[in-house]
Amino acid sequence: DIVMTQSPLSLAVTPGEPASISCRSSQSLLHSDGNNYLDWYLQKPGKSPQLLIYLGSNRASGVPDRFSGSGSGTDFTLKISRVEAEDVGIYYCMQDLQMAYTFGQGTKLDIK
Amino acid sequence: VQLVQSGAEVKNTGESLQISCQASGYNLNYYWIGWLRQMPGKGLEWLGIIYPRDSDTRYNPSFQGHVSISVAQSSNTAYLQWRSLRASDTAIYFCARHTPQTGTDFWGQGTLVTVFS
């Protein structure tokens, strides 16, 4: 299985300030088609997860442009340019290059 | 697009169970439907995924043989089944629509399964 490792595992951010989450995979997620098969999800408290970013850097429909994804190969980053109160929850990266798809441990975002 | 899951279940170890996920608002033939598990206070795990058009099914090796995934195209419904539940199957189970090119973009509301030993 591909092992996904996130850091930090928790962070507290003042509203309006930026936040960044790192995700590292145990093997490259860069496919021969040129895509990185890495997604980002947010699970708000008591809710189903929601897709934020797919193929490493593409924002999903309806996702605010303060969210951005970058990286290639084995190192990826999710950035929130200006955190808002509604962004609290647990952020997961996930590889869908090969089944079994695997998630990182999750990063809990709180508001200061 | 909507994925509506069946309601919460309470079972005993050794019992069988089938939960469902009814999809609407899109053509099932062009998207995978996956099942995921979230144990209490823990992260997300994929159990497996099925392509309704031809029932091509891929399992996470960690769950293969313990669960089975199927789909009924006539009712746009996917199923997750256990023949013999364990206490460790206690979790919330999500179904979700997926393609590798667009991510897991729609999720069901989750089904809580509680198994007593």
pLDDT digits (tens, 9 = 90+) for B81-115: 999 999 999 999 999 999 999 999 999 999 999 99
Residue B27, pLDDT score:
87
Using a 10 angstrom Cβ sphere, with 0-12 exposed, 13-18 middle and 19 or more buried, the burial of residue B104 is buried
Q: Which residues of A touch B107 (CB under 8 A)?
A: 48-50
Residue A28, pLDDT score:
98
For strands A107-111 and A89-95, give the pairing.
antiparallel
Q: Which residues of B touch A53 (CB under 8 A)?
A: 103
Using a 10 angstrom Cβ sphere, with 0-12 exposed, 13-18 middle and 19 or more buried, the burial of residue B58 is middle
Of the pLDDT bands very low, low, confident and very high (cuts 50, 70, 90), residue B28 is confident
Q: Which residues of A touch B45 (CB under 8 A)?
A: 103
Of A39, A96, A100, the CB nearest to B60: A100
Are B109 and A48 in contact (CB < 8 Å)? yes
3-state secondary structure of A45: coil
Mean pLDDT, rounded, of chain A: 98
For strands A4-7 and A19-25, give the pairing.
antiparallel
What residue in B sits closest to A35 (Cα-Cα)? Answer: B101
Are B44 and A92 in contact (CB < 8 Å)? yes
Residue B44 predicted with pLDDT over 90: yes
Residue B29 predicted with pLDDT over 90: no
Token reading at A1? 């299985």
Residues of A with CB under 8 A from a CB of B: 35, 37, 39, 41, 43, 48-51, 53-55, 60-61, 90, 92, 94, 96-97, 99-106
Of A37, A53, A106, the CB nearest to B100: A37
Token reading at A101? 């798809």
Q: Which residues of A touch B59 (CB under 8 A)?
A: 99-100
Token reading at B73? 């195209």
What residue in B sits closest to A48 (Cα-Cα)? Answer: B109
pLDDT, tens digit (0-9, with 9 covering 90-100), for A43-53: 999 999 999 99
Q: Which residues of B touch A41 (CB under 8 A)?
A: 44, 104
pLDDT, tens digit (0-9, with 9 covering 90-100), for A4-49: 999 999 999 999 999 999 999 999 999 999 999 999 999 999 999 9
Are B103 and A101 in contact (CB < 8 Å)? no
Residue A29, pLDDT score:
98
How much is the average pLDDT of B21-41?
A: 95
